[in-house]
Structure 1
Amino acid sequence: MMDAKLIFDQVSKYYGETDQAVTALNHISFQVHTGEFVAIVGPSGSGKSTLLSIAGLLLSPSKGRVILDQLEVNDLSSKEMSRVRLNKIGFVFQSSNLIPYLTVRDQLLFVAELAKNRTDQADQQAKRLLDRLGLTHRQEVYPDQLSGGERQRVAIARAWMNDPELILADEPTASLDSKRGRDVVEMLADEVRLREKAAIMVTHDERVLDLCDRVLEIKDGQLTQLSYKQVCTTDKND
């Protein structure tokens, strides 16, 4: 059996006071394994963002356990959580969130500096990632000189910079056309499998679901797995 990179064990999240609390997640249990690329779909307000925030250690669950790379994170201090987040999790956002005054190469090296790991090895890692994602010829360019697809490729390279165990992608194709969006998701999927890591992608883009190993649907804070037939039917209806 594949090792689990991420485990949610009966995770619930409530907002507000006890007698008027809003349930964002309701006793969710699932695992993401080594080499697995999982998509999560669902309507707005269904709990997708809350789930991703808890997986990324940006929110704490109200109940249940979260285990990341065999480390139970519930009882970590905020400082310890920041360290785990920096070293074990890579984020890819829908708007890429690149720093406007840094070149493509420096976007990656800034991550190494945050981790106090700016070494020759970090320089080589940045070089390898830029080459792998076809960005070597753009490494001295600033974000406003890049296309949308190039910006997302830089965001993917930056997410891998500290060799994290888990990638979390929040609507990575939202600002891209169909072809560029598919290219970006293919790159994410390829890197996850090549590096034997794991990834969760929250998306509304049903055109890329066939690139994922599993598709989970969240509704009213509860998670179910869609079958291949259900995914295909959804695509066809679109």
Structure 2
Amino acid sequence: MMGDKLLFENVSKIYGEGDNKVTALDNISLNVRAGEFVAIVGPSGSGKSTFLSIAGALLSPSKGRLLLNNEDITSLSSKELTRVRLEKIGFVFQSSNLVPYLTVRDQLLLISELIGKRDKKTVKKADELLSHLGLGHRADHLPEALSGGERQRVAIARSLMNDPEIILADEPTASLDSKRGRDVVEMLAHEVKSRNKAAIMVTHDERMLDLCDRVVNITDGKVFG
């Protein structure tokens, strides 16, 4: 039986106090299993960004627990949370977030450098990932030479570099037309399945939902589905 990669247990996130109190997430429980690709949908201001920030160990919950690969990360120090983000979580952002002055290969090696593990083996892994995602011929190019779809594929390759437990994608198709957007999400879904990872994608693009295993709706800080 496949285990839970990510588990929200009665998680709430509350900002402010007294009359200024805002409940961004309200007692959310949700699990994502290995090999599962989950879409998170909901209107603006519904709590999607807060949910993703907590899943990515960027924010701590006000109440409840967050388990990543059976490790309770709720009360870790900021230094330990940084380790968790570098070693266990892969991020794919809305606009690829590539560093303008780094080549495609060096974008991938940046994570290894932050962990202190850049060596011949990681360079080989970066080249293999780029080749696998159809970007081998782009390894020495800067982001400005790439199309939007190619940039997002680099972002997916980068998210896989640290062999994460979970991949978090925030509106990964927002800057792409529908065909390139679908190509990117298909690629993401394939990598999740073939590598037995877990993934969460926040999206407004309903045309991508058929590529996901499950759709979870967040409305007013509560989950449905």
- Length-normalised TM-score, structure 2: 0.99
Flag structure 2 segments of 5+ consecutive residues without an equivalent.
Answer: none
Match of 1:171 in 2: 171
What amino acid sits opposite 1:99 in the alignment?
A: V
- Residue aligned with 2:174, SS: coil
Give per-residue Cα distances to partners, 1:176-195, cap 9 Å, x unaligned: 00100000001110001111
Listed one character per residue, the Cα deviations across residues 1-46 of structure 1 (whole Å, up to 9, x for unaligned) are 3200000000000011144310100000010000000000000000
Paired position in structure 2 for 1:50: 50
What residue number does 1:60 align with? 60
Report the equivalent of 1:92.
92
SS of the equivalent of 2:46 reads coil
Q: Which amino acid aligns with 1:90?
A: G
Quote the residue 2:24 is aligned against: 24
Q: Residue 127 in 1 paired to residue 123 in 2? A: no
Identity percentage of aligned residues: 69
Residue aligning to 1:229: none
Aligned partner letter, 1:122: T
Q: What is the distance in 2 between the residues matched to 1:205 and 1:91? A: 19
Q: Tell me which residue corresponds to 1:212.
A: 212
- Partner SS state of residue 26, structure 1: strand
**1:77 is matched by which residue type in structure 2?**
S
**1:33 and 2:33 aligned:** yes
- Indicate the residue corresponding to 1:235 in structure 2: none
Which letter does structure 2 place at the counterpart of 1:85? R
Q: Deviations over 1:180-226 (max 9, x none)?
A: 0000001110001111110000000000100000000000000011x
Distance 2:72 2:198 in 1: 17
Partner SS state of residue 204, structure 2: coil
The structural deviation recorded for 1:118 is 0.3
Q: Give unpaired runs (5+ residues) of structure 1.
A: 226-238
**RMSD (Å), alpha carbons:** 0.7
Q: Give the secondary-structure state (helix, strand or coil) at the position aligned to 1:150.
A: helix
SS at match of 2:105: helix
- Within 5 Å, which residues of 2 pair with 1:134-149? 134-149=134-149
Distance 2:18 2:85 in 1: 29
Paired residues in the alignment total 225
- Note the 1:99-114 alignment, pairs <5 A: 99-114=99-114
Aligned position for 1:154: 154
Distance 1:68 1:204 in 2: 26
Partner residue, 1:203: 203
SS where residue 216 of structure 2 aligns? Answer: strand
TM-score, normalization: structure 1? 0.93
For 1:221 and 1:172, how far apart are their aligned partners in 2? 22
1:122-176 deviation line (CA, Å, top 9, x unaligned): 0111011101110000111100111000000000000111100100000000000
CA distance in 2, matches of 1:128, 1:165: 20
Structure 1 runs, 4 residues or longer, greater than 6 Å off: none
1:180 maps to which residue? 180
